[in-house]
Amino acid sequence: MRVLRTALLLAAIVWSLAVSGEVRARYHGDLNVFAGQKWFQQRDWAPVAEQPQLGLMFSFGEERAPVHFSIDVLFSKDKADFVDPVLGPGRKEGSSLEYAIGVRKTWRNWATCPHLGGGADIVTARLDTMTSAGSDKREDRGYGAWIEAGLSWRIAGHFNLGIDARYTRVDVDLGTQYVSDDAPAGGFHAGLLLGYGW
């Protein structure tokens, strides 16, 4: 639900820019859908260490500004079966929701436009385990940083098509009430971009 509210807010911003010729002439921006994969550290997240990921990447700034302000929202989730040597068959489900706030620089002087970005990252991670002994649900929020790089192409004046890769460094506590267990909730992300630019 939080992802949907964020998407609607970003869509409203883009719509207001699209209907305002004056603002469109003075500002540049991009709203892209990200579709790809996120790789966690295997030791802590197996067997759901590789998760499909969807997100929205938004950047906006004055035309003459060297960098643009960016807000990205990324969600990953996966589930898999496993066999515990003591408890037998089980299922594990993992997910993460990231809010990446920072700056992004895009070079638009060529047909292929490279971009670089970085900033602060807020991640809510959840790991649920179901076995014959019952269910174990663990969730925590962590704060860290992200960096990214990618390439995009502007098609028919306003449509973006590209690729993006990023690395996030965030730790969360997925331990119990009595025992702490710090685990990385960031990781390596890579995928395709499709969106609208002005």
Is 57 exposed, middle or buried, given 0-12, 13-18 or 19+ CB atoms closer than 10 A? buried
Mean pLDDT of 4-20: 55
Asked if residue 3 has pLDDT above 70, the reply is no
Mean pLDDT of 105-133: 92
Model confidence over 29-86: pLDDT tens digits?
899 999 999 999 877 798 999 999 999 999 999 888 889 999 999 999 999 998 888 8
pLDDT bucket at 187, cuts 50 / 70 / 90: very high
Res 174: pLDDT: 83
Q: How far apart are CA 142 and CA 178, in angstroms?
A: 19
H helix or E strand, kind and range, residue 155: strand 134-155
Report CA-CA distances (Å) from 182 to 81, 125, 179: 23, 12, 10
Res 108: pLDDT: 82
pTM of the complete model: 0.83
- Tell me the two tokens of residue 167: 């690395």
pLDDT bucket at 21, cuts 50 / 70 / 90: very low
Q: CB neighbours of 70 closer than 8 A, spacing ≥ 6?
A: 57, 58, 59, 60, 100, 101, 102, 103, 104, 117, 119
Model confidence over 125-180: pLDDT tens digits?
999 999 888 888 999 999 999 999 999 998 888 899 999 999 999 999 987 655 66
Q: Can you list the domains of the chain with their CATH numbers?
A: 2-197 (2.40.160.20)
Q: CB neighbours of 147 closer than 8 A, spacing ≥ 6?
A: 116, 117, 118, 166, 167
Asked if residue 100 has pLDDT above 50, the reply is yes
Can you tell me whether residue 144 is helix, strand or coil? Answer: strand
Asked if residue 23 has pLDDT above 50, the reply is no
- Picking from 170, 174, 195, the residue whose alpha carbon sits closest to that of residue 184 is 170
Res 15: pLDDT: 54
